[in-house]
A and B are shown apart, each in its own frame.
Chain A
Amino acid sequence: MNAEARVKETQAEASLIEQFSKLAKDQGGLAAETREKAFADFRSAGLPHRRVEEWHYTDLRAKMREAYAPAEGGRTPEVLPAPVDDGPVLRLFIVDGQYRADLGSSAMPEGVTVSSPREVEVKDSLFPSKDAVIDLNTAFCQGGVVVTVAPGTELTEAIEIVHLVTQPETASYSRNRIEIGAQASVLVIERFEGAASDAAYQTNAASEISVGDKARVNIIKLQDEAKAAQHLDSVSIKVGAEADVHHFTLNAGGDLSRTQMFVEFLGEEAKLGCRGISILGSKQHSDVTLFVDHAVPNCESRELYKSVIDEKARCVFQGKIVVRPDAQKTDGQMMVQSLLLSEEAEVNAKPELEIFADDVQCAHGSTTGDIDEDLLFYLRARGIPEADARKMLILAFLAEAVEETENDRVIALLESKVRALLGAEEYAE
């Protein structure tokens, strides 16, 4: 806190202080002092606002008018969502912030363990920088899941982690950790959904993912929160040498959402793909903030984010690739492309490169446009009604991001998800 002391807490900050004072702090496997410290850090900074650079476009202090009290545990949803595809799957459920072993797959295959986070996992945070939202996650952590995949395990099943909220006007804070051993091969599908589609609630999730040397990992995040929900998700990924990691974020739900990712290369010759699609409408505000740290030489990263923004929605993308002085031969390409479907739709794209090494191949770019009228005319001239032609062109615009994941199961599931979101199921090939 600087000399210019903050005048007054916002209503949400005051609620958080009140809620924290009442919290039973030695539960959920966490020591009280870990929570106390995190909350003290949060309190000194307050909710992030416009003048905090990383949060410039997503003024949480203004947008988070209320802070709901942490949800009570133990509720069981009436129905569990079906898996996203018919491939083999290991299902893990996090309900109202807590891992519910009773709801998911009963047995794990050899090489996979699942537990709840303990003190050690939360305290040794892998997040590289201080962030008020992560501090709140630590302070209020209700549970979550720790998944380990032993070295060399080639999982045929996808690991599906489903975050469900059953109670309106509550907040859920889950802390998750996924440790993937060397040479393992894994697909993780992380879903965020609310039980009632019109419920207002808040999700604050944090996931720390470590990928061992030569592991091959696909992580798909499907953000399908209820329309009025606020979704805050912090993700840290540590990439081992020669690993091949693809992360994909599909943003569709929530009134406010922010996915903040911190990726660091720990070993050479690794490949990373961070991609995503945001499909936004009404007054949605969706933020993807990505920090990629090329800390070692000879790694490759591809970042490609596409958004389709309608009505009064706003999409924020901030991406920073840092290439450290030692990280020679880094190959980093970041692209962000947006399609604006209405006059009032808005995008703020800020791709950045910070390069401290001299022998690198890096580029970034951003494009914003609307649907190409000539393409639209071509399709309509063949008898395709305008609304359908638009859908085809939107799908075409998004296709590249999906195809680049290069994994047949991932491509199929993302394509069908995207088509469903656009009401364009009939354009399946």
Chain B
Amino acid sequence: MLEIKNLHAHVEGNDILRGIDLTVKPGEIHAIMGPNGSGKSTLSYVLAGKEDYEITEGSITYNGKDMLDLGADERAAAGMFLAFQYPIEIPGVATMTFLKTALNAQRRARGQEDLPTPEFMKLVKEKAKDLNVSPEMLRRPLNVGFSGGEKKRAEILQMALLEPSLCILDETDSGLDIDALRIVSEGVNKLRDPNRAMIVITHYQRLLNHIVPDHVHVLSRGKIVKSGGKELALELEENGYADFIDEEAA
């Protein structure tokens, strides 16, 4: 469903992604690990359509469609969702208005009718309850004053509501306390589906105990230097990245 080929991305004179190849099939969960600054968030931004990066080579194809021609909103409507590493606060935008606008924009892009407001309200309440997002948080402007962990839960709430076919989670576990990690993981697992794929970026095995990946990749200096099964994450937890990075440098 997602095919990334020889992807190179460039920003302000730096090559950040230097030839990424990755194929993700429906139902699969791929974990991406790698040292700080290796390009994990950049990859997630480039997938989601952030315009700061220049794609110098390669392609991103999603469900047969070339994504590089599409804007971020069109990619979202095509089913991609990025849960941000650092969700931003938007004062003056009411959370509920935002959620409704986003949901209906995607429905319209797919030729569906707007969801009637009462049904929308019911849906949000239901999903919010699952993720322990309080009604009080929903009354605030988007992400404003949310704690780090609350922001992450709010991201997963958006994901649950929008029901994307490809979920990209960028360090969703960082900043979560132990209970929140469990709640969020349950939320994510609830979305596991034979037709839905996930790319989970994380530094810790801990998250992968809850969300068990089919494949684990190590990203280093803009390239995937190692791929393996879920046992690779355990190995990394044990020994760190040194082995792979040295391998690459050599």
Contact = CB atoms under 8 A, between A and B. Distances in A.
Given A381-B72, A383-B76, A429 B94 contact: yes
Interface stretch (B84-92, B179-187, B199-207, B223-231): B84-92
A400 B72 contact: no
B199 to A, nearest CB: 15
Nearest to A395: B92
A311 B59 CA distance: 36
B50 A388 contact: no
Interface stretch (B14-22, B96-104, B124-132, B211-219): B96-104
Q: Indicate the size class of the contact surface on chain A.
A: 20 to 34
Interface in B53-93: 71-73, 75-77, 81-82, 84, 87-88, 90-93
B105 interface: yes
A400 B92 contact: yes
A388 to B, nearest CB: 7
B73 A384 contact: yes
A382 B98 CA distance: 9
A388 B93 CA distance: 13
A396 B73 contact: no
Contacts of B96: 429
Interface string A365-401: 0000000011101111111111011001101111110
Contacts of A356: none
A377 B92 contact: no
A379 B109 CA distance: 15
A386 B101 contact: no
Contact of B73 (A389, A393, A397): A389
Contacts of A385: 73, 105, 109
A383 B105 contact: yes
B42 interface: no
Contact of B102 (A382, A386, A395, A398): A382
A373 B72 CA distance: 12
A380 B88 contact: no
Given A380-B72, A386-B71, A375 B105 contact: no
B49 interface: yes
A380 B76 contact: yes
B91 A382 contact: no
A377 B93 contact: no
B50 A377 contact: yes
Given A377-B72, A399-B92, A382 B162 contact: yes
A377 B102 contact: no
A388 B92 CA distance: 15
Nearest to A398: B92
Contacts of B90: 375, 378-379, 393, 396
Interface of A: 373-375, 377-386, 388-389, 392-393, 395-400, 426-427, 429
Q: Which 10 A-B pairs have the closest CB atoms?
A: A396-B92, A383-B76, A380-B72, A383-B106, A382-B102, A399-B92, A380-B73, A396-B93, A383-B105, A384-B105
Given A386-B71, A392-B98, A426-B101, 19 more contacts: A373-B52, A377-B50, A378-B84, A379-B90, A380-B72, A381-B76, A381-B84, A382-B73, A382-B76, A383-B73, A383-B109, A383-B162, A384-B101, A384-B105, A388-B105, A395-B92, A399-B92, A427-B97, A427-B101
